[in-house]
Structure 1
Amino acid sequence: MTITVSRTAVPENGVVRFASIGGLQLEAGGFLPEVTLAYETWGTLNADRSNAVLIEHALTGSTHVTRGDSDEPGWWEQLVGPGAPVDTDKFFVVSVNMVGGCYGSTGPSSPAPDGKPWGSRFPLVTLRDSAAAEARLADQLGIHSWFAVLGGSMGGARALEWAVTYPERVQRCAVISIGAASTAEQIAFAQAQTLAIRQDANFNDGDYYGGPFPEGGLALARRIAHITYRSAQEFDGRFGRSAQAPETPFQAAALGDRGRYQVESYLDHQGNKLVRRFDANSYIAITEALMSHDVCRNRGSLRESLGLASARFFVAAVDSDRLYFPSQSRELAAALPGEVDVHLIEAPIGHDGFLTEIGQLGSQLRNAFLV
C-alpha cells in the first residue's frame, strides 16, 4: 500500500492529502474493500519519529485544525500552531478525516466498487474502526507511537479508543468533553437527528445522489444538535424572547404567517450553514458511530477496560455542558489508573466551549501534559 498525495509531492502545512490504506474489515461485520483517508499535517516529523501528535475532529469537523500554509482558519487555532500549546514548530501534527466522513475520506458519497455512490449500502462504522484505519495511515507515515492523541467531544472518544485499542502506540491522551460511553440520553438526541434526515422526502433511503439532497432533514438535524451544544444561559443571555426584526412572532392572523424569534433565526442559520458543507449520509454514519461509543464493549468493566491503556491521561470538561456532563468526565478520570484530575473549562456557552474556550487549558496542556 502506498500513499497517494494530492496537489504536490512535497508535504505542505494544512493542505489536504490522501492515503489509500486497502480493505478494512469493520467491527460490526461489514467490509470496505478500498479505503481512502484524507488528512492534513503541520510541522516536521523528527529523525526518530517521536514528535507526532494526532488531533481528532468532532462530529462535523474537518481535518483543518489550524492554518499552516492555508489562509483558511482552523477549528482549534487556540490550541495548535506555531508557539501554541501543541506547537507546530516542535511537533508533527496530523489530523485525519474519519471513515464515513465527507471531507475526502471514504464515506457514503464515495464510489463503491460498481462506481456508484455507496449511499444506503455504506456499512456501519464505529470509533474503533476509525482508530484501526488511522493506525494503518500512521504505519504508512512511519509513526509507530504517538507522542500524544488529543480530541474534544467525538474527537475525545476517538482519542480514548486509540489509547485503549493501541496502548503501545499512545504515550499521552487528552480526552475533552466526552465520557467513557454514550448515554441513553445522548443516544436519544442522536436518534432524533438521524430520524430527521431519514424522514426527509428527498432522502430516498440514502440513495439521493444525482437527485435533490435531503437538505431540510439535515438542517433540522443540525438544529436539534445545536440546542444541545449550547446552554440555556447562552440562549437566554444572547436572544431572550426577542423577535427577529422585522418579523413579529406574536402577531399573526394564521399560524403559518407568524414571524420568528431571534433564537429561531439563529437555529435556521446554523442548519442552513451545515447543509452547504456536509453530506446527510455522512451525518448519519458518523452520528451512529458516536452512538456506538463505549470503551467497555467486549472489554469488561470500566476500570478493567481503561486498565488496558498505558498512556498519561489529561481529562477536561466544560462546566456548563448539558450534552456531555462534567460528571461523565469525573467518572472516566476516577476509573483511570493512577490519579487523574479533571480540568474545567469555565464557559457559559455550553458544550461548544471545548472549541471556543480551549485556550483556558493552554498552560495546563503545555506545562503538565505536552512535556
Structure 2
Amino acid sequence: MRTALVIGTGLIGTSAALALAGRGVQVHLMDHDPAQARTAAALGAGTDEAPEGAVDLVIVAVPPAYVANTLAEAIRGGLARGYLDVASVKGGPRRELEALGCDLTGYLGTHPMAGRERSGPLAATADLFEGRPWVLTPTRDTDTEVLNLALELVALCRAVPVVMDADAHDRAVALVSHTPQLLSSMVAARLRDADETAVRLCGQGIRDVTRIAASDPRMWIDILSANPGPVADVLAAVAGDLDETVRALRALQSAEEDKRDEGAAGIEDVLRRGNAGRSRVPGKHGAAPAAYETVTVLIGDQPGELARIFADAGREGVNIEDVRIEHATGQQAGLIQLMVEPTMAPGLTAALRERGWSIRQ
C-alpha cells in the first residue's frame, strides 16, 4: 500500500491516518467539515489535498448512518483499488450497499475494536489500535486483493486481525460494547441528582463502572441506531436478571427465614454467574486472565512519583502486569495497585518498603 484516502477525520479515521502516515503511506484526508480535515493534516495524519488519481485504499470512517452512501459515492467514482469502512456495525451497511446496486467485490467491512471517551481528530493517536482486535467481515465475493489490503492496513496499525461474519459481529458488539455503554450511562445517571455527601464517597468501583459514561451521546446515538435489535435483545436478558435480583433483595427483607434463604440463593446465583462470565474476559495478550497478586502502595500526587515506583519495581526485576490508581478524596495522595505474578509479590513488597514506600495491606 502506497496511497490511501481517509474519508472522515474523527478519532478512528485520524488515528488510522496517523498510523499509516507514520509508516510511509501517502495519506489524503477528506471530511464534510474541511476544518476538521485541516486539523488532522496539521497533526501529521496526511494532506487535506485531494489525490490526483485513484489511491490504493479508501477508508471510510464516518458515522454508521452515512457509511453506505459515502462508500457508494466512492465506489462509483472509482477512487481506489479497494474500499473498506471502520463502522462499529457491519450487517446494515453491507445490505444498504447491496440495495444501492454497488459492485461489492472491491469492498470489505471492518471494525477496529478500539476507542476512547473523547472524539475528534485531537483525541487521535497513532498507537490507538496497537494490540487491539480488528474485525474483518469478508464474503465469498470479496476480492483477494482487497482482503490483502485490509490485512496490510491492520498490520501497519499493529492491530490483530479477526475474521467474522457481519451479523455475528453485530451480535457480539451488542454484548461486549454497546450494552456496556448503556449500562454504564444508566448507573452514572443515578449520580446526577444524588446527594453531594453520597457522591463524595465514590471509590474505584463506581469509577470503573461509569468510566465510559463520559462518551459523546451523539456518537452513541449513531452507533445504537445502526444496531438496535441485538442491543435490545441483550438488554432484555439483563432486565430479566434485574427483576430476579430485585425479588431476591426484597426476599432478604422478609421476616421469614425460608424467604431470606431464597433471596440469598438468588443473589449468590447472579454473583457466581458473574464470576464465571468475568473469568472468560481475555487477559494480557489475549490469554485467559491470570491470578495476579496485588501490592497496594500509598503514592503522593507529585510529578515523578509514578516513574519512581515503576523504576523501583524494575530494579527488583519485577514486571508490572497491570496497574490501577485510586485517588484519595480531598487529599494529595492515592493508592496505586500493582498487579504482579504471585511469586514476585513478597520480594516487591519488601523492596518497596526498604525504599520508603508505604505499603497497604
Q: TM-score, normalised by structure 2?
A: 0.30
The structure with more radius of gyration? 2
More helix as a share of residues: 2
Q: TM-score, normalised by structure 1?
A: 0.29
